[in-house]
Amino acid sequence: MKPVPAEGALEGIIFFDGVCVFCSRWVRWIMRRDKAGIYRFLPIQTPQGQVLAALFGLDPTDPQSNAVIRRGFALFKSDAAIAVVSSLQGWRWVKVFAIVPRVGRDWVYDLIARRRYRLFGKTDYCWIPEPGECDRLME
């Protein structure tokens, strides 16, 4: 998916599938490394997450992509992952993956996304953050 203009959306919001074990681990991984507190996290299953997901063309009942708002654009799939990880201290080298054409990167992303529940599991409720992480999780 190509980036979509996201004027007025809060910078640094990461939309994620809150019932996906893999996606929740991804969020915790980012939280531990995002020392500057650039990112806030919004499960797609929340009322606000559903509205914003639909606005950006994501199906809130079957999200097949994470998304991040960066510099006025919503980025999806591998673009979102590369943008987020490469913005973290010590991980700037990840930008090198952007040279791979999006179609190839997103093919790999989709392969994992379609199998994420089977490979990593699914919960009946959105992930609950640790006490020090609560201020970064949006509802």
| pLDDT at res. 84 | 96
Instruction: For the full predicted model, state whether its pTM sits above 0.75.
Output: yes
Asked if 29 contacts 94 with a C-beta cutoff of 8 angstroms, the reply is no
DSSP annotation of 132 reads: G
pLDDT for residue 134 is more than 60: no
Residue ranges per domain, the chain?
4-136
Express each pLDDT in 34-49 by its tens digit. Answer: 988 899 998 888 888 8
pLDDT for residue 127 is more than 60: no
Express each pLDDT in 48-85 by its tens digit. Answer: 888 888 888 888 777 778 889 998 899 999 999 999 99
Which candidate, 74, 73, 81, places its Cα nearest to that of 23? 81
Which candidate, 61, 59, 51, 68, places its Cα nearest to that of 6? 68
